[in-house]
Amino acid sequence: MRIWKWIGRVDWGLASVGAGLCLLAMMLITVISVFGRYVLGMNLIPGAYNIVERILFPLIVFWALPLAHREGTFPRLGFISEALPPRGQALLATVVLTVETAVFGALLYYTGLFAWDGYMDGRQAQIGSGYWLIYPVLAMVPLAFGLMLLEMLRQLARSLVSIVTGGRPSSSPG
């Protein structure tokens, strides 16, 4: 299906390009700050710590989460599932994915409310001696949870089909 390939590309782009550029920016900011502080004796980037802590680091984490979930890199207890027959594996995957979907649905809802409140309030973070609007960064959190929720729903549908057909789940719970 084209939509799932497109969502996969979005996940990959956020994780590799977006988070990669944020990581590069973190390294450059850190190197420039350390150089300025210890070699030149001055602060070259006011608010460097806040830029890294409140903007770049959250973007790295939340842009990488959907791809990590899609690729199955989250830790899981596979030995329980492997001991079950195929239909039992599908049933266990369905239960796990149902719980994950409920949890991430709640996270999406509440982080969405928080991001919306940040937008409506014009929430800002102090960076150096000034203030920057923070709601664009806040909006990335529900985006990440939404992408993860879409993948969970896809996996849940596959798992339900596996229960009906009696086969192995086509993708393990993540």
Query: What are the pLDDT digits (tens) for 113-134?
Result: 999 998 989 888 877 778 888 8
N residues, the chain: 174
- 128 neighbors 162 (Cβ within 8 angstroms): no
**Predicted local distance difference test score (pLDDT) of residue 75:** 64
115: CB partners within 8 A, 6+ apart? 135, 138, 139, 141, 142
55 DSSP 8-state letter: I
Q: Which residues contact 57 (CB under 8 A, 6 or more apart)?
A: 22, 26
Domain boundaries of the chain, sorted by first residue: 2-165
Q: What is the number of helices (H) and of strands (E) in the chain?
A: 7, 2
CA distance 99 to 89: 15
pLDDT at 170: 54
Q: Of 141, 149, 153, 144, which Cα lies nearest the Cα of 113?
A: 141
Please identify every stretch of the chain with a pLDDT value under 70, giving residue numbers as ranges: 1, 74-81, 167-174
The predicted pLDDT at position 173 comes to 43
Q: What integer pLDDT is reported at residue 87 of this predicted model?
A: 76
Provide the residue type at 111 as one letter. T
Which letter does DSSP use for residue 1 in this model? -
